[in-house]
Structure 1
């Protein structure tokens, strides 16, 4: 090798260390010491570049960091909910019934974990805009939220239908604050005498033992410049989506490897390091993992290939040919971003857009049939709820 070649190699090496990529530079703020204890808004702001400009691997790591943050362990005063006497902090956050079903303000100062299961209305049996609350298989989905999200919903009057109508007299869109965190947990009650799958976390509520099947995580990272139009149609990201699932759920491995489109599993040592930094080593969270992540409608924002992300229990309605048997699915139509984007309200008719499960980019002609049998179009007067289906489902 010539002397010039040696110099070129040396300069290239120096440049590599001296000029980190955008994602690496952003990551230095995102995962700086103390990341586990940062306020939610500050953490979201520090990690927005990693979330929206980083690689799939960096997004997967951020998913684990969000998982670790919401699962910070707190004491269980009852002493009977878990073997360790500890429970994840989100089990002390307000549920949908705490947010939409009462005028009593939720007390974030006590942060005592609830001992009663508080499921939200089941969405899988929605037909023609009607919500069925039947729960034939003892499965429960429980929605919780952090203080930033709760305060905005309550203070903005977005917890009753009459107040939603009032809100849209002066506003054209809901705009949740940066740092809002919305979670949805999937539980399955254990019949007496039966045990949970090996490795699954089990918690005891009044009424029985439930094993934890997974957790949706939805975090607001930035606001859009024009939410009225952008939420429905723009590929510009605003929320970060991930869904964690118990690793031995039937068929989950096949779904992850063949049907989910954006995932990049981390090495076990990297996962253990994140959990250890968060003080969660040994609790049992290693039995769960993200199915993937999502930040927009389509891959690369091109509008061509839909991003597919979902949970085999919480979105089993989107699997085919048999919704109850993920191990045999050949197709999975689930997209957190696309589905939640249609959450909207029409001030003229005072109605919410019917629940649906689209994938890929939306357009103004996207339509559904409401409970009255009328076809309604997204582009005909509907105003965005900022991806917040609970406003549509829970307000009365």
Structure 2
């Protein structure tokens, strides 16, 4: 996790803090002294067993620990921070998709919290065959990434279509480094007719005040034995979780009836993690993980899909009415399944069309592209290591 130098003193004081672990549990080595101050690479490597061999409660705890790490507070004298508290989470100073893919200028990783909202392409527009930037005055999804992820994309030339084509003349797949962190935040503008819900954190960007609806977190924990098999293997490599405002309409219903892998922590454990992270009382208590995911199907059985998503960011996956999650009877969302189809075909110089599969994939999995041509995943496509931003944003 790349932090401004002003945060080093805080981390030094927190380095000795540890969380209680059960003897011989998968969390041993992950929750020990100094977990907050570890580099992203070391923390991911140390916590891979907890992520992939631990039970659902251990995974839920890890979700909160990742949340605490990426939410370390930095001063924001310019905009007044979240909810006017003078501070904002460090991920708001990380490079966005436009910072990564939309410019040839290097990003200053020690810069302050940005003043402008930098939304990424809306998935709903992609699904409909349109590539468009989100309306800056409406619902926005903003992708940010840590230094490990940013450096890999830049140094390997994965930010332009020409360079992606060149990359695949020498490689058969993308293999993001352990410790890569990719985030996607959801914001909604505050208006007289649409105020921020009680308990929601807000931020005043140049275009107006927005309330924070939640955050996707994906972290590369360990490499696959065969990165070229990313489309099909149940071997875990990425850890997925999504945080959402607890009072979002319908989120309780979705969490309790449609999310498949979830083990809510007792409030005292949540408070302990936030306190260890120096975040107690800031307002993060109003948010929680909807669940976690590490593979396509439950227990790698190849039969029962793992369902995980956010009721705003994946509203298109809910039914019968996408805008009313409190009435959903189905939620066809899978972070792992969706991102697994991020792929590039060197022969056609085309990315696989965006789709939202659940459950295990096979070479015959297909999707019709915007030109009406059916594309088959097994016909020449190469894995982008779950990195849709490459396909969405390469210019």
Band the TM-score falls in, shorter-chain normalisation: over 0.9
Q: Give per-residue Cα distances to partners, 1:192-211, cap 9 Å, x unaligned.
A: 57531110001111111000
Q: Which structure features the higher share of helix residues? A: 1
2:301 maps to 1:296: no
SS in 2 for 1:27: coil
2:152 maps to 1:152: yes
Structure-2 change in CA distance of 1:209 and 1:390 (3 Å)? same
Pairwise CA distance, 1:239: 0.0
**Equivalent residue runs for 1:25-64 within 5 Å:** 26-64=26-64
2:160 maps to 1:171: no
Structure-2 change in CA distance of 1:272 and 1:185 (3 Å)? same
Pairwise CA distance, 1:34: 1.4
Q: Does the 8 A contact of 2:261 with 2:293 survive in 1?
A: yes
Q: 2:138 — aligned with what? A: 138
2:216 maps to 1:216: yes
SS in 1 for 2:100: helix
2:235 maps to 1:236: yes
Pairwise CA distance, 1:367: 0.3
- Name the larger-Rg structure: 1
Which consecutive unaligned segments of at least 5 residues does structure 1 have? 1-18
Structure 1 distance, partners of 2:132, 2:112, is 30
Structure 1 distance, partners of 2:362, 2:143, is 29
**Equivalent residue runs for 1:366-381 within 5 Å:** 366-381=365-380
Pairwise CA distance, 1:79: 4.6
TM-score, with length taken from structure 2:
0.92
Structure-2 change in CA distance of 1:380 and 1:190 (3 Å)? same
Structure 2 distance, partners of 1:144, 1:193, is 29
Pairwise CA distance, 1:80: 2.4
Q: 1:86 — aligned with what? A: 87
SS in 1 for 2:256: helix
Q: Does the 8 A contact of 1:77 with 1:112 survive in 2?
A: no
**Comparing 72-81 and 263-272, the one that deviates more:** 72-81
Pairwise CA distance, 1:28: 2.5
TM-score, with length taken from structure 1:
0.92
Q: Does the 8 A contact of 1:81 with 1:115 survive in 2?
A: no
**Comparing 244-253 and 133-142, the one that deviates more:** 133-142
Pairwise CA distance, 1:128: 5.7
Pairwise CA distance, 1:352: 0.1
Q: 2:267 — aligned with what? A: 268
**Equivalent residue runs for 1:121-132 within 5 Å:** 121-127=121-127, 129-132=129-132
Structure 1 distance, partners of 2:171, 2:195, is 50
Q: 2:309 — aligned with what? A: 310
Q: 1:106 — aligned with what? A: 107
Q: Does the 8 A contact of 2:75 with 2:81 survive in 1?
A: no
Q: Give per-residue Cα distances to partners, 1:147-187, cap 9 Å, x unaligned.
A: 00000000000000000000000000000000000000000
Structure 1 distance, partners of 2:277, 2:215, is 18
**Equivalent residue runs for 1:347-366 within 5 Å:** 347-366=346-365
RMSD: 1.4
Which consecutive unaligned segments of at least 5 residues does structure 2 have? 1-21
Q: 1:182 — aligned with what? A: 182
Q: Does the 8 A contact of 1:128 with 1:370 survive in 2?
A: no
SS in 1 for 2:188: strand
2:240 maps to 1:248: no
Q: Give per-residue Cα distances to partners, 1:33-58, cap 9 Å, x unaligned.
A: 11111100000010000000000000
Q: Does the 8 A contact of 1:244 with 1:291 survive in 2?
A: yes
Structure 2 distance, partners of 1:341, 1:371, is 20
Q: Does the 8 A contact of 1:123 with 1:132 survive in 2?
A: no
